[in-house]
Amino acid sequence: MIKTLQNTLKQDKEQFTVPKSVQDAIPIRRIWPDGVFQFGSKFSKCIRFSDINYAIASKEDKTAMFLNYSELLNALDTGSTTKITINNKRLNRQNFEETILLPPRGDFLDGYRAEYNAMLTDKVTDSSNSVVQERYITVSTHKKNVDEARTFFDRVIGDVTSRLNKLDSHSEELDAIERLRILHDFYRVGEETEFHFNLKDSMRKGASYKDAICPDSMEFKKDHFVMGDKFGRVLFLKEYASYIKDSMINELTELNRTLMLSIDVIPVPTDEAVREMQNRLLGVETNVTNWQRRQNSNNNFSAVVPYDLEQQRKETREMLDDLTTRDQRMMFAVVTLVHLADSKEELDSDTETLQSIARKHLCQLSTLNWQQAEGLVTALPLGLRRIDALRTLTTEALAVLMPFKAQEILHQGGVYYGQNTISKNLILANRWELLNANGFVLGVSGSGKSFTAKREMVGLALAAENGDGGAPDDIIVIDPESEYRPLIEGLGGEVIEVSATSPNHINAMDMEQGYGDGENPVVLKSEFLLSLCEQLMGSGKLSAKEKSIIDRCAAQCYREYIRRGYTGAVPTLQDFHAELLRQPEPEARDVALAIELFTEGSLNTFAKPTNVDTNSRILCYDIRDLGRQLLPVGMLVVLDSIFNRIIRNRQQGRNTWIYIDEIYLLFQHEYSANFLFTLWKRVRKYRACCTGITQNVDDLLQSHTARTMLANSEFLVMLNQAATDRTELARLLNISDNQLSYITNVDSGRGLIKCGSAIVPFMDNFPKNRLYKLMTTKPSDTDGTIGMGRAA
C-alpha cells in the first residue's frame, strides 16, 4: 500500500464510542473564534467560494476553467486532506425579509412597496428556487497543536484562494460562528432564523456550542436516519464510469431538497505514485512473461496475450505516462451525499431520483448500510472522513467532478434585475460595488429596454435608504420620447417639459458652489459657454479673438455673483449678451449677433432665470419638443443643469442616478457628446452614475467616444439584439457563442447582464400589477388610468 495512504488511514482511525446524547453525535472536540475546529489530533479550516459561469461558457472557456481547476487540485498539499462540499440549503426567510424586502415608510408609496415585495416573495418562494447553493473547501491536517495548524492553514488556504481567483471565484475564510451556522441550518432545517450564538457569552456561562446547533433528536437506522422531524439518507458513489460528463455533480445537486455533496480528496506525492505504478507495471509484465513461458513450454509459440492482461498493461502504462509526462497526480477520493426529506416515502423517492441520475452517467450511487452516522459526519464540511470507499483517480478524472455551475449576482443592498435563467435565483446587483457604476441598457425596439431601466428606478425610488445605508438616492431622467411621465409622476416626481414654447425655463448659466471640484469654477463655466457659442455659431467658426472675448465676458458676468458667495440672482445668457455688447471689439458684436436668436429671440428658453423646481428627488427632463434648432443647445444646458445637481447632492451626501434614453441622440452632436464623455468619466467621485439606453448599438459603436464609454462601463444589460449588434458586442465584450444565444431571438425581458466580470443570463416576468402599468409602454397594456393618480 502507498505510504501516504497508509499513514492517513492510520491517523484517521478513531476509537468508536457509543454516543449517549445528540451532542455526542457531533464529533467536534474544540473550536476557536477564527474558525479552526479540532477533532482528536486533527484540525480543520473552511473557506466559502463563489460559483463561476461554467455551464454557459464556450468550449474554449470551459477547457480553460477545467485546466485551472485541475491546477487547483494539483496544488493540494500532500500533508492534508481536502473536502469540497456543495450545500443546498433552504432560503433564510427572516434574512431575506430584512435584507431584500422594502420596509414601509408611511408615505403614499407604501402601496407600491407592498406590490414590489409581493413580487420578490413570489419569485423566491417558487419551488424552483427556494433552495440556495453554497460551496466550501475544508482543509484538515494532523498537527501537534493549534499554532502549528494555523501556520499550515495560512500557507495552504492562501494558495487555494489565489488559484480560485484565477477561476474568477471569490473566496472568504469562515470563522467559528459561520461554520456553526452551516451545521445549525442543516441539523435544524426550518429553524434557520433561530440561530443566536455568542462565543464569549457561551464561554462565560460555561455553555456548550453544541447546544446551539444540535437537533432535538437523532436516530440512525440501517439505511437512513431520523433527525428531529426530518428523514435523511447518506449515499456514496460506489462505481465510477470510465467516462463521466462534467455535468453529473450539477445534476445531482439540482434536486430541490436540503442536501450536501462532498468530495474527499487525499493527494499522493508524485514520487510515491510513480514508484507504485512502476511496481504495478512490473507485476503486470511479470504476469505476461509467466503466461508466455507457460504457453511456450506447451509448444504454443503463436499464442496471443489474453485481453485482460493486455488491458492491464495498457492502462498501467497510460497511468504511468500521465504521472510522468502529463502533469497528472494520483489522488484517492470518495464522494458522499446526504439528503433530507419530510417523510420516509419522500426520502425513498428522492433517493431513487438521485440514483437514476447517477445511472444515466453509468455510475452507481449506493446507500450506506449500518454506516449512516459515519456517512453523515463524512458528508458535512467538518474535515472528517469515516467512509473507506476510496477510489484511485488522476487529476483529470477528479476534475471531471466539477463543482461549478452558474455565476450568481447577489450583492448586499442590491436592486432586483430579474432571475438567473440557469439557477432561477434572484439577481440583486449593487452597482456601487463595481469599479464604476456607469452602465448601458441595449436592445432592439420592443425588447424591454425602457422597462428594464424603469424597474431599476422603481427599486431605487421605493427604497427607504440607499445601498450604503444613507439618504435615499436621487433619480434624474432625460426623456426624448415623453414616455417616462406616468412613472415619474406616479412615484411623486417632477416632469419638466423643455421646449421653445414651454413656460419652463432653465438658466444655462446656473452655477452651484463647488462647481469644478476645487478648480476655478469660472474656468469650467467659460469652457461650457465656449462650447455653447461654438454650437450656436458652427463648429470651428470661433476665432482666437472671439474665444478670448467670451472668456473675458464670462468672468465679468460671474464676478459679482461669486463675490456674494453664490447667493442672489444668477447671471443669465441675456446678461452675457449685454456684456458682449459692452465690449469695444467688433468681434464681440459678431458673437452677440450670432447668439441673439437664443438670448433675445424666439429660442431664448435657456436665457432666462430658472423657474422650475429642480430639487425634486425624482426629476425628468422631457425634451421631445425641443426641435432641431434648439436640441444641441438644450442637451448641453440640461446636462450642465444635471451636473449642478450632482454637485449639490454630493455636498448633501446623496447618490445621484442619471438615465439618458435614446442616448445616441447626444452623440450626433459633437459638444453634447464630449460633455457627456467628460461626465461619464468624472461622476464616480461625485457619488453619481450614468445609464445610457439605446437600440442603435451599431450606430453607437461607430462613435469612438461612445465605444470608449461602453467599454469602460462595468454594468451592461443586453436584451434581444440585432445580428450586426450581436457581432459587435461579442467582439467588444468577449462574449462566447453560447452566451450570445441568450440575446438572440429571445422574448422581451430576457438577455444578459454584465456586472463587473460576471456575465449572467437573466429573465424577468414582472406581474401585471399597478407598478407594471406605470412602467410598461406596450400599447396592449396601457389604458387611460396610467399615471393619473398616486398609489393608495
Residues 396-429 have pLDDT tens digits of: 999 999 999 888 888 888 899 999 988 888 899 9
Per-residue pLDDT, 518: 55
Query: Cα separations (Å) of 216 from 22, 88, 91, 677, 753?
Result: 7, 21, 21, 62, 44
Laid out side by side, the sheet with 474-479 consists of: 426-429, 415-420, 758-763, 750-755, 715-718, 439-442, 688-694, 656-661, 474-479, 618-622, 494-497
Query: Domain range for residue 277?
Result: 272-313
**Could you please report the per-residue DSSP string of 240-276?**
--SS--TTHHHHHTTSSS-EEEEEEEEE--HHHHHHH
Per-residue pLDDT, 467: 47
Say if 542 falls within a structural domain: yes
Burial per residue of 312-335, b for 16 or more beta-carbon CB atoms within 10 angstroms, e otherwise = bbeebeebbebbeeeebbbbbbbb
Q: Are 43 and 144 part of one and the same domain?
A: yes
Say if 70 falls within a structural domain: yes
Q: Choose among 735, 786, 717: nearest CA to 447.
A: 717
Q: Are 219 and 364 part of one and the same domain?
A: yes
State the average pLDDT over residues 444-461. 90
Handedness of CA 106, 107, 112, 116 (dihedral sign): negative
**Could you please report the per-residue DSSP string of 583-594?**
SSSHHHHHHHHH
Torsion of CA 767, 768, 771, 773, to 10 degrees: 150
Residues 330-380 have pLDDT tens digits of: 999 999 999 999 999 999 999 999 999 999 999 999 999 999 999 999 999
pLDDT at 784 over 50: no
Per-residue pLDDT, 230: 94
Q: Is the pTM of this model over 0.85?
A: no
The residue that leads in pLDDT, 299 or 232, is 232
Say if 702 falls within a structural domain: no
CA dist 479 and 495 (Å) reads 10
791: CB partners within 8 A, 6+ apart: 108, 109, 110, 111, 112, 490, 770
Q: Are 38 and 80 part of one and the same domain?
A: yes
Cell numbers of 404, please?
A: 461549478
Per-residue pLDDT, 173: 95
Q: Are 308 and 165 part of one and the same domain?
A: no
Say if 536 falls within a structural domain: yes
- The domain that holds 551 is classified in CATH as 1.10.8
Q: Are 57 and 148 part of one and the same domain?
A: yes
Q: Are 193 and 308 part of one and the same domain?
A: no
pLDDT at 175 over 70: yes
Measured from the Cβ of residue 248, the count of other Cβ atoms closer than 10 Å reads 21
State the average pLDDT over residues 66-93. 90
Q: Choose among 308, 312, 292, 289: nearest CA to 300.
A: 292
CA dist 539 and 520 (Å) reads 26
Residues in the chain, overall count: 792
State the average pLDDT over residues 706-720. 87
Say if 494 falls within a structural domain: no
Mean pLDDT for all residues in the chain: 86
Q: Are 242 and 285 part of one and the same domain?
A: no
Q: Are 333 and 309 part of one and the same domain?
A: no
Give the number of domains in the chain: 3
pLDDT band of 127, cuts 50, 70, 90: very low
Per-residue pLDDT, 402: 92
Task: Indicate the residue among 609, 641, 658 that finishes a domain.
Answer: 609
Q: Are 298 and 202 part of one and the same domain?
A: no
Per-residue pLDDT, 418: 92
Q: Are 227 and 299 part of one and the same domain?
A: no
Secondary structure E strands in 143-192: 171-173
Say if 374 falls within a structural domain: yes
pLDDT at 182 over 80: yes
Task: Indicate the residue among 313, 339, 372 that finishes a domain.
Answer: 313
Per-residue pLDDT, 750: 92
State the average pLDDT over residues 151-176. 93
Task: Indicate the residue among 381, 399, 417 that finishes a domain.
Answer: 399
Per-residue pLDDT, 781: 64
Q: Cα-flanking dihedrals φ and ψ of residue 755, to 5°? A: -125, 100
Per-residue pLDDT, 132: 84
Q: Choose among 409, 365, 116, 397: nearest CA to 255.
A: 365
pLDDT at 791 over 50: no
State the average pLDDT over residues 441-452. 89
Cell numbers of 751, please?
A: 438577455
CA dist 393 and 370 (Å) reads 27
State the average pLDDT over residues 80-100. 84
Q: Are 75 and 221 part of one and the same domain?
A: yes
- The domain that holds 59 is classified in CATH as 3.40.462
Say if 109 falls within a structural domain: no
Say if 98 falls within a structural domain: no
Q: Are 301 and 160 part of one and the same domain?
A: no
